[in-house]
Amino acid sequence: MTKQERVNFVINTLYKLYPEIPIPLDHKDPYTLLIAVLMSAQSTDVRVNKITPLLFEKADNPYDMIKLSVEEIRNIIKPVGLSPMKSKGIHGLSEILIKKHNGKVPQNFEALEALPAVGHKTASVVMSQAFGIPAFPVDTHIHRLMYRWNLSNGKNVVQTEKDAKRLFPKELWNDLHLQIIWYGRQYSPARGWDLDKDIITKTIGRQSVINDYNKLKKS
């Protein structure tokens, strides 16, 4: 297959598997999504979705959030990990949203990435999922699969994002980044990977990846 044929195969397969695409993190508006994505760093969506209701019951907007102390926030979100950094970020960004953005989450990358504890990936998720603005947030699943599918060299997530944006039509970015995440979790995980169930990698995958898989399976 040519690279374009591989890209088309990925798009068609993912749309057949995921015609409707659930959002992994529970939220009700851009602010609660921003907080949930920030909390998800080095944690799981399942764990975050268990903790965010406890936090949002006390504060689901920046005005209520700054009424809590950093320590109070930390005690609530401790199960998701990295709570010292995340609690400071949540309190700090809430203050900035009130002071600089009238309590609203800004709809541009520069302003989002200027917020405490908000990096490019978090900003991309918010732009995509909260505002519908084309973005391609790259998580570990997307980084792994773009390499397995021989669509990126796997050097770093910055290059993977550039390759994804170059190869996939812009109007599909918001759907595709979620579809690839769900596919990675269900069919092509890092651990417990079964190539026979991973139809995309089995069909278009990088040969060295397939060879390594077969060697491990035999050993």
Active site residues: 121, 139
Contacts of 171 (CB under 8 A, 6+ apart): 134
Report the SS3 class of residue 211: helix
Helix or strand holding residue 205 (H, E): none
| Helices and strands: H and E segment counts in the chain | 13, 0
Surface-to-core class of residue 61, CB atoms within 10 Å of its CB (0-12 exposed, 13-18 middle, 19+ buried): middle
DSSP for 147-168, written as a single string: HHTTSS--S-HHHHHHHHHHHS
- At 105, the amino acid letter reads V
